[in-house]
Amino acid sequence: MATAEKLAGNIDRFVDVVGRITAWSSFALALVMGGNVLLRYGFHTGSVWSQELEWHLMSPICLFGMSYALRHGEHVRVDVVFATLSQRNKYLIEIVSAVLGMAICLIVIKLSYAYVLQSWSIGEGTANPGGIPARYLLKSLIPIGFAILFLQYLAQAIQFFLAWRKAS
């Protein structure tokens, strides 16, 4: 069990690093959006490239941020029912939720794999003149983001299983 606990701890640390990097992406997004607004309304000009950069930054924030939010308990939970349960039953629900979350992650990874491969095979870019050319890189973040989320669910499943065993 010490190995499983160590694995869960390593996953948590990895997700924390990814989360901190993602936070800096949020700062970059705020700067880009502020710059776009200033250009548009202050100077009546703009750039397709910088507008596309906004969602090229937003996508990793969402895809990587969901793992960080799960790690720190910032996800949505129905606490009205959850609060009335015993600690042991809460752990059991967390284990089942983690397993279901892992299954959903695997489904998304499987379904997005062909989509990403197709994008890479055609060297997909933007349809907009002056936009960001390598859209396939952005699409690659879908299975990567869900793989990181899978790892975080795995870490939580391990941690809650160990806590559930101790609560017996």
Which tens digits make up the pLDDT trace of 9-65? 899 999 999 999 998 889 999 999 999 899 889 888 888 888 888 888 899 999 999
Distance CA 93, CA 99 (A): 10
The residues, any chain, with a CB within 8 Å of residue 49's CB and separated by 6 or more, are 130, 131, 132
Residue type, 120: W
As given in the structure block, the two tokens for residue 20 are: 């901190």
Contact between 39 and 45 under an 8 Å Cβ cutoff? The reply is yes
Element (H, E) at 164: helix 135-166
Distance CA 66, CA 58 (A): 12
Distance CA 18, CA 39 (A): 31
What percent of the chain has pLDDT above 70?
A: 98
Can you give the length of the chain in residues? 168
Distance CA 53, CA 41 (A): 18
Give residue 133's pLDDT.
84
